[in-house]
Amino acid sequence: MADKTSFEMDLGNGGEPHQHVPLAGPHDREGKLTTNQGIRVSDNQNSLRSGARGPTLLEDFVLREKIFHFDHERIPERIVHARGSAAHGYFEVTDDLSDVTTADLFQKVGERTPVFVRFSTVAGGAGSVDTPRDVRGFAVKFYTKEGNWDLVGNNIPIFFIQDAIKFPDLVHAVKMEADRAYPQAGSAHDTFWDWASLMPETTHMLMWAMSDRTIPRSLRTMQGFGIHTFRFVDAAGKSTFVKFHWKPKLGTQSTVWDEALKLQAADNDFHRRDLFESIALGNFPEWELGVQLFDEAFADSLDYDVLDPTKIIPEELLPLRKVGRLILDRNPDNFFAETEQVAYCPANIVPGIDFTNDPLLQGRLFSYLDTQKSRLGTANFHQLPINAPKCPVMNFQRDGQMQMSVPKGRANYEPNSLAAHGEPGGPRECPVTGLHTLERQAQRDEQGDKLRVRAELFADHFSQARMFWKSQTESEQAHIASAFVFELSKVSLEQVPPRMVGNLRNVDETLARRVAHGLGIELPEKSAAARDPIDMGASPALSIQKNMLDTIKGRKIGILIADETDASALQTLIAAIEDEGATPFIVAPKVGNTTLSDNTSIKADGQLLGSPSPIFDAVAVLLSDEGCKSLINEGAAVQWVMDAFAHLKAIGYSQGSQPLLDKAGVQPDDGVVPHDKGFIDAATKRYWDREPMVRSLA
């Protein structure tokens, strides 16, 4: 029996065509290769020619269509957040929020809502690398029963600027310089620091950007934030302010700077690969959603404005209410169709959620919709499968480029009376269940003349930057100071570093002196503050090191072996690592079989030169005396151990490995232990006390 055509299958629906239901994809193993018009292709290897050696004929529509489509495969990349990685999953409610919002997805414990989550760097292009010092995007699309809700944030709870009108300036400054088109994916250059040093409101964000937050160990171990203050609205129309926090189940983890640099060389796709492989292995990334809920009275009691996106509310002052968990359990089927074409927009909200007057948020409500039209080429981008809501969509919007639905009937306007004549009249507004913008009486400071001004409390640019500094460990403070030194040392404009250090004197005098000393410049005058900073006290929740989880679950442990490695010791270690929910990864001089002590052989997961230790969270060196002799003059092996020690990781070792550790300069400490005596416990953490032994910091 002949294969049923897609047309015949369409006729099975009462003689009316389906809305674009393809029979099989062009590469379906069970189907037949066709053109985009469904015409089967007989030869996909040769163009149509006039004779075996003659010219190609213009009438070859198969060739023309294939080349035409290839020529247009790429769409404009995002101006920012161009390099991204994403996954499907679900959000599950663990504490219903029916007391503060009517949003359907928060009403019932156990309720699951499908999501698509995209992580990204900000400054680099789509072809840049995963691990530069940069802010990371954390965008979640909830496919709720009431429509799509996009919570579009970052891995940092604040932003550089207070007003959206400055966003083009920020991006122009941090992107590649206009006359030379470099550097790519980095802020360590003239134009960014020239601009930032002239914009004191960036100071708090700069503290975060120079911290280890911007060199995360993996996408799975990043926090996420909604950044802005939003509103929840309950059934009675009462409003509650809300801030959104995502906390990774594995805890927040970062790299050290030298490690981040070497990861760029080792694997340009380190974060993307880690996310994809973790999901493929069933180690599903998970985050907990916490919300900070507060009212107008609480907001008015603060020394800063909750509508200022450069400010946070410390968790110690307003604890999180944990309300749900986010699980990513499925990789995209096609990177372009999903990760690249997904279109987020902060203006996408559902009933029960509303906006505030945050001036940065207000600008984003326009900007995102506009940019998606520019990128995806049509106002119908919402019809792409990755963007399409999973609830019914009914309105009178029609036509436009790339229209993918087939509306029926005459009704394309409202109101109409066609139903009175027996024709479909189309959907109607619903005052009961429809989204209502919050009705509230304008406050005194929301009335008056039209002015280009900011609220007075927005002028405090240094108090929270000071709080962030005071909240860090000594090690983290050293990393921040050193990052400022590194970035500003790349600036050739002589007036910029002193101006930036002058701003830092408003944050902390010790920080400013350390940066000035690292740059070799005199301590400049303190810059004038528009509003005197206040001391807010420390917030321990802002420190990565103070909140790290002692676990190796979800981590990757590198094991260096060679011929004659003890087979029993290797198998015991592998089992112990797997029992803790971590992934062992065997590294050897050759990927092919390595002969173990019992004459059995094992295939390595990676070759020594291609699997440097920066890609692992901890390492073990399991070498025999002979195996160590074979590697001790191998530069890659020495560097493998040296980097693990310099990056403050746990090192487990066999007795035969000791000469290699000695040559690599490994000194005994709590993180350097025999592989069979406490290595698993040692591998749960980094050893920050080791750092002064391995590098100089500001």
Which residues are the active-site residues? 81, 154
- How far CA 478 is from CA of 126, 236, 256, in Å, comes to 32, 51, 11
Token reading at 64 = 């023309």
Q: Rounded distance, CA 384 to CA 636, Å?
A: 47
The widest CA-to-CA distance across the chain, in whole angstroms, is: 93
**Length of the chain, please?**
698
Q: What pairs with residue 120 in β-bridges?
A: 84, 137
Q: Provide the phi-psi class of 285: left if phi over 0, else alpha when psi is between -120 and 50, else beta.
A: beta
CB 253 within 8 A of CB 266: no
Token reading at 288 = 């907990």
Three-class DSSP category at 138: strand
Q: CB-based burial of residue 407 (10 Å sphere; 0-12 exposed, 13-18 middle, 19+ buried)?
A: middle
Tokens 């007003």 map to which residue?
163
CB 260 within 8 A of CB 266: no
Q: CB-based burial of residue 415 (10 Å sphere; 0-12 exposed, 13-18 middle, 19+ buried)?
A: exposed
CB 328 within 8 A of CB 279: yes
Token reading at 72 = 């247009």
DSSP code for 346: T
Q: How many angstroms from the chain centroid is the CA of residue 435?
A: 30
Tokens 């004459």 map to which residue?
599
Q: Rounded distance, CA 255 to CA 613, Å?
A: 12
CB 372 within 8 A of CB 395: no
DSSP code for 64: H
Strands (DSSP E) found in 296-376: 321-330, 353-354
Please spell the DSSP secondary structure of 594-645, one letter per residue: EE-TTS-EE--SEEGGGS-GGGSSEEEE---HHHHHHHTT-HHHHHHHHHHH
Q: Rounded distance, CA 348 to CA 140, Å?
A: 11
Torsion of CA 274, 279, 280, 281, to 10 degrees: 90
Q: Rounded distance, CA 442 to CA 421, Å?
A: 45
Three-class DSSP category at 500: helix
Question: Which residues in 91-123 are b (16+ Cβ under 10 Å) and which e?
Answer: bbbeebbeebbbbbbbeeeebebebbbbbbbbb
Comparing C-alpha atoms, which of 250, 245, 244, 246 is closest to residue 220?
A: 250
The alpha-carbon radius of gyration of the chain (Å, integer) is: 29
CB 279 within 8 A of CB 87: yes
Cβ-Cβ contacts under 8 Å for 149 (sequence gap 6 or more): 103, 105, 141, 142, 348, 349, 350, 353
Cβ-Cβ contacts under 8 Å for 637 (sequence gap 6 or more): 560, 589, 608, 631, 660
Residue 306: φ, ψ to 5°: -70, -10
Q: Rounded distance, CA 539 to CA 527, Å?
A: 26
Number of neighbouring beta carbons within 10 Å of residue 17: 13
